[in-house]
């Protein structure tokens, strides 16, 4: 495992980039940092009931979930089961 040294948190990194001058990629960097920060927040599983079964999908992207999923296979967000 590599030692990357002292780091700031994602919120601090976002604030730093917001104050930095725009080099043409500022919005892309901000989007990546916000995604990395937000993907740690669990999203609820949504329930889709039909006449014969109940299907659960990711609350973020709508990908079908299996019963033992802790993370969505499509978007990587953690799943918050009831």
Q: Note if the pTM is more than 0.85.
A: no
pLDDT over 80 (residue 2): no
Q: With H, G, I as helix, E, B as strand and everything else as coil, classify residue 36.
A: helix
Please count the structural domains in the chain.
2
CA-angle at 43, arms to 76 and 28, nearest 5°: 55
pLDDT tens string 42-82: 999 999 888 899 999 999 999 999 988 999 999 999 999 98
Average pLDDT, the chain: 92
- Rounded distance, CA 72 to CA 51, Å? 25
Closest by CA position to 17, among listed 5, 40, 4, 8: 8
Q: What is the pLDDT of residue 1?
A: 65
Do 33 and 48 belong together in one domain? Answer: no
Is residue 5 predicted with pLDDT exceeding 80?
Answer: yes
Q: Are 59 and 32 found together in one domain?
A: no
Residues 34 and 48 in one domain: no
> Does one domain contain both 25 and 51?
no
Please give the residue range of the domain that contains residue 76. 43-80
Mapping DSSP onto H, E and C, the string for 44-71 reads EEEEEECCCCEEEEECCCCCEECCCCCE
pLDDT (tens digit per residue) in 20-48 = 999 899 999 999 999 999 989 999 999 98
Are residues 30 and 49 both part of a single domain? no
Q: Are residues 53 and 73 in the same domain?
A: yes
């Amino acid at each position: 495992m590599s030692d990357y040294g002292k780091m700031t948190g994602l919120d601090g990194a976002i604030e730093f980039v917001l104050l930095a001058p725009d080099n043409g990629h500022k919005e892309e960097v901000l989007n990546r940092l916000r995604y990395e920060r937000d993907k740690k927040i669990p999203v609820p599983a949504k329930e889709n009931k039909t006449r014969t079964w109940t299907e659960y999908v990711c609350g973020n992207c709508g990908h079908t979930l299996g019963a033992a999923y802790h993370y969505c296979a499509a978007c990587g967000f953690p799943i918050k089961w009831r």
